[in-house]
Amino acid sequence: AVEAAVEAAERLAAEAAVAEAERLEAEATAREGVEDAQLAVERAAAAADGRSASGPVSATPTRIAAEPSEEEVASFRFAGVRARPRKGIVAAWKSDETYLKPPGSCGTRWPHLSLSVSVECCERCHIYILDTCA
């Protein structure tokens, strides 16, 4: 009877070890799936930025900010100064300048935002907006 109990205990321990090993393997597979998904996102972001996605991916991946920085927000406006006579502000038009928003700098980079470009008070300027905007 003691031998039967020992055999039963050994069998249960072996089954528990196998179940634990299967659980750990399933977790490792799930982690690999998440890492593969993160790699795909990084490569898509690299392609959106115009960088090569075929090269090796660094250990510390480059992340695109969820929101544009203050400097980037300022780049969505190209304007001179509008005259406001009641406030004593004299018009100062931009003249003979070039404004460029390259591909991947507006809606392609932040598709979840409704970005627009404001252009005003310009004369003889060349305006090039080469990305999607709202």
DSSP annotation string for 50-113: T--SSSPPPSS-----SS--HHHHHTTEEE-B--BGGGTBPPB-EES-EEEE-TTSSTTT-TTS
Buried residues in 77-103 as b, exposed as e (16+ CB within 10 A): ebebeeeeeeeeeeeebbeeeebebee
112: closest CA among 64, 46, 43, 47? 64
pTM of the entire structure?
Answer: 0.48
Whether residue 53 is predicted with pLDDT greater than 60 in this model: the reply is: no
| 69 or 54, higher pLDDT | 69
Exposed/middle/buried for residue 53 (C-beta within 10 Å: 0-12, 13-18, 19+)? middle
| 55 or 66, higher pLDDT | 66
Report the distance separating Cα 119 and Cα 79, nearest Å.
5
Q: Are 125 and 96 in contact (CB under 8 A)?
A: yes
75-128 pLDDT, tens digit per residue, is 999 999 999 999 999 999 999 999 999 888 888 888 888 889 999 999 999 999
Whether residue 60 is predicted with pLDDT greater than 60 in this model: the reply is: no
